[in-house]
Structure formats: C-alpha cells, structure tokens
Amino acid sequence: MITLRNSYAQRAHYCLSPLAKNLFQLMDEKKTNLALSADVTSAMKLLELADQLGPEICMLKTHIDIISDFTPDLTQQLRKLALKHRFMLFEDRKFADIGNTVKHQYKGGMYHIADWADVVNAHSLPGPGIIKGLADVGRRKNRGLILLAEMSSAGHLMHADYIQSTLKMAEQFADFVIGFITQHALSKDPHWINLTPGIKLDEGSDSLDQQYTTPQKAILEHGSDIIIVGRGIIAAVDPLAEAKKYRECGWESYLLRCQRG
Ligand code: 5BU
C-alpha cells in the first residue's frame, strides 16, 4: 500500500491534479522539499532572491501585495526565473470570500494572479463555493489550490472539527485542490501535499505569535511534505548558505522517513 511514507515519485502516481503530480515529480528530480517565503517589499530584492536561491527550492511563495513598487513586469520576470530554475510560484493570497468575488480577485485586479501563480491558497471557512469560484478560473490554466487547514500562529481558531471538515471539502475537488497548509498531515491518502509554514532550524516564536518548529519535527513527526521558510533564510547574513542548510535538513528528514517506511 502506498502511504505518506512512500517517495514523492511514487505518490505522484496517485494525484488527480496534474499540477500536484508535476510538483511531486519536480521535488523528486530536483531533490528539494524547500519552499522559500520571499517576504520582501521591493521588486528587485524579490527577483534577486528568486534568481539566487531558485536552484535550491521547489517553490517560491510570494505576498505580491506587499511589494511597494509592483509592476506587471515583475510577475513576468518571476515566471522566467521559475522556468529557468524549475520551481513553482505560490501566491499566498489566502482567499476568503464567496465564489463570485474570489473569481475576480484571482483573475483580475492589479495582480492578475491566475496568469502567473501556479498555486494559490484559500480558507475553507466560506464553504465549497470558494473552491468552485477559484476552480472556474484556475482549472483551465492547469493551476492548483491549497486549502488552509491549520495555521502556524498561536491561538488560531482552526480546531480539530474545522480541520476535518476542510479535508472533506477538499475531497470533492481533488483534481484542483493539491493539499493543505497544515502543521500535521490530515489524511493517510498519499496524493495530498502537506505544506508547513512556521519552520526554523531552532524552535521558538516571534513577537507576533508566529510559532516555529524544526524541519525534522515537521517532516518526521508531523508528516509534512514541504517546509516553508521565510525569515530563517532571508534574514540570515548569507541567505544562499542558509537555504542550502534548510534544503539539506528537509531532504535528509524526508529520506529518513522513506527508509523507516
Ligand atoms: P516566516 O518568516 O518563516 O515566519 O514566514 C512565514 C510565511 O508563511 C509568511 O509569509 C506567512 O504569511 C506565511 N504563513 C505562516 O507563517 N503561517 C501560516 O499558517 C500561513 C502562512 Br497559512
């Protein structure tokens, strides 16, 4: 039986979403389960990070609305770098409205997110209509959606029944929803991708209730597949050297999990 402890390549065969399949294959071939959260406010800084750290990562996570000098050229350049270094673009937009509104927010406005982001995320709070709205736009562009099941911040309101209901909702859209933002794997089903923010080499917290766990704990104890790292890398004196450390740590933990079976 194929489980979460099998390789990414083996799990790729079980994905109903073509994008999820590609992502697992990319991770397997590039040997990285590291996503960089590039939380910077300047376009040039974002492009520099994407180019320099691109070879180390499977995914670049953006908050496009914190860029103070945004122009559409930025997202075109990001797409070029995503192709050059083979990583996916994940806009951490956290949609949270009714289907009709998120459709507009996804495809239009200033950012035209659906034109450049391979993956976006959404809260399950409004009900299945939010997924239907995003799928209307994203399916035909071969995009993927991640549902927020469990946040990393202290005191969040996503309790066990909310998390389970999020999983049930995702199951109705398994060709479009690729997995979850979560601190723990939600299901034994091998095709869901579990992405975990709140990762640092040392556990702890920040002054605004972010909570950190280590790559080893996230992957080996909690069933995470992709570690999302922001300040642990970008606030380091040498972000490239630090990214390599996180990459190695994430990949070794994954190999150990596969070995243990
Ligand atoms: P950090 O610098 O590694 O703490 O950044 C974490 C990033 O992940 C940041 O962009 C957050 O917006 C994002 N994040 C998170 O920290 N926790 C969550 O539950 C979700 C997103 Br969803």
Structure tokens at 157: 């309101």
Residue 119 has pLDDT above 90, yes or no: yes
Closest by CA to 66, choosing from 52, 96, 46, is: 46
What confidence tens digit (pLDDT) does each residue in 12-46 have?
999 999 999 999 999 999 999 999 999 999 999 99
Rounded to 5°, the CA angle 66-69-71 comes to 105
Task: State how far the Cα of 196 lies from the Cα of 60, in Å rounded to an integer.
Answer: 14
Q: How far is the CA of 92 from the centre of ligand 1 (A)?
A: 9
Q: Is the CB of 152 under 6 A from ligand 1?
A: yes
What confidence tens digit (pLDDT) does each residue in 178-233 have?
999 999 999 999 999 999 999 999 999 999 999 999 999 999 999 999 999 999 99
pLDDT for the residue numbered 98 = 98
Q: Is the CB of 198 under 6 A from ligand 1?
A: yes
How many of the other CB atoms lie within 10 Å of CB of 55? 16
The answer to whether residue 31 is catalytic is no
Residue 2 has pLDDT above 90, yes or no: no
| CB-CB contact of 110 with 74 (8 Å) | no
pLDDT for the residue numbered 1 = 84
The CATH code belonging to domain 8-256 is: 3.20.20.70
Domain ranges across the chain = 8-256
Instruction: Return mean pLDDT, the chain.
Output: 97
What confidence tens digit (pLDDT) does each residue in 223-260 have?
999 999 999 999 999 999 999 999 999 999 999 999 99
Catalytic residue among 80, 94, 103, 188: 94
Nearest CA to ligand 1 atom 11: 197
Closest by CA to 31, choosing from 76, 77, 86, is: 86
Is the pTM higher than 0.95? The answer reads yes
Structure tokens at 201: 């080499």
Ligand 1 pocket test, pick from 210, 213, 227, 233 with the greatest ligand atom count within 8 Å of Cβ, gives: 210
